[in-house]
Amino acid sequence: MSMADMEARRQGDRYLVTDEEIAKYRSHGYVHLKGVLSKDEMRELEEEFMAFVRREVHVEGRDFCDMSGDYTKPIESFSIINIMLPSKYNPRLKGNIYEKRAASITEQLLGSDMALDYDQLLAKPPNKPDAEFKWHQDLAYWPVTKDTRTASFWLAIDDSRLENGCVQFVPGSHLESNLRHHGPLHGDRDKSHTLAATLSEDDKPKPAEIDRGDVTVHHERILHGSGGNFSSTSWRRAWVVAFRSQETIKKEREIGFTHSHNDNLKVLNEVGKESEVIS
């Protein structure tokens, strides 16, 4: 896609999605959209991102953690630096240009009753072969409501490649009628937030190698994960924003689920169960 084409798709706060891309999100469970943010916009977002990594913005307790380790790991040795709810901790980020374009894409994919549910920053520094984000389906982390529609955006701050630990998706896995089994990575949710599923032989993960300023949008049931960062020079940073139906967000908040890792453990232990649809 040429520079001019990309610019034509960005229309102020909006980004225009093609019918083919909408069809892809539905059939594969994710879609790659190029040039959602311009070079200048990316520079500003990156600055805001790094203020969190440098710990210049206060982030409460477990909302600053390592998704590959347990809560006892010292911050200096984090392999997947994970910051939950950046716009809660820095309210100036609310309504930023990325959030607005993502909202516009969500409307085109899923309709007008959607809202921002949460945001998250993920950073794998160079030389972190253990920066593995375990295979999972996002819905296994969340309360199962009647209407689970979700558009999860993953914005690449760095060119994202297999070498530095890009996300890999199992196309079509979102169409399975049941969630896979997920277990806590380190014994229980009080030790780490991370859940993990295992791949079967039939699962054929596809790397989503995308450039800085590109996004992938994924479905709440697609199986995905990512490998370590083997690059000696490149970070692998991503800014996630997820949109769910206003009704689902209301239900989540009613039970005290905010996507913070500081949410009550009792609540965290009850989510991701299809047998208990929250209504």
Which residues contact Fe ion (rule: CB under 5 A)? 138
CB of 268 to ligand AKG, least distance (A): 17
CB of 196 to Fe ion, least distance (A): 12
148 in contact with ligand AKG (CB under 6 A): no
Find which of ligand AKG, Fe ion, none residue 133 binds, CB within 5 to 8 Å per kind: ligand AKG
Binding to ligand AKG, residues 20-49 (CB under 6 A): none
240 in contact with ligand AKG (CB under 6 A): yes
| Closer Cβ to Fe ion, 138 or 252, answer by number | 138
Which one among 167, 179, 215, 271 touches ligand AKG, defined by CB under 6 A? 167
Q: What is the C-alpha to C-alpha distance for residues 181 and 242, in angstroms, rounded to an integer?
A: 23
Radius of gyration of the chain (CA): 18
CA dihedral sign of residues 243, 248, 249, 252: negative
168 in contact with ligand AKG (CB under 6 A): no
Helix (H) or strand (E) holding 195: strand 195-196
| Closer Cβ to Fe ion, 14 or 207, answer by number | 207
Q: Are 145 and 200 within 8 A, CB to CB?
A: no
Joined tokens for residue 236: 């692998």
Which one among 138, 158, 220, 263 touches ligand AKG, defined by CB under 6 A? 138
Q: Are 153 and 241 within 8 A, CB to CB?
A: yes
- Enumerate the β-bridge partners of residue 153: 217, 241
How many helices and strands (H and E) does the chain possess? 7, 15
Binding site residues, ligand AKG, CB under 6 A: 122, 133, 138, 152, 154, 167, 224, 226, 238, 240
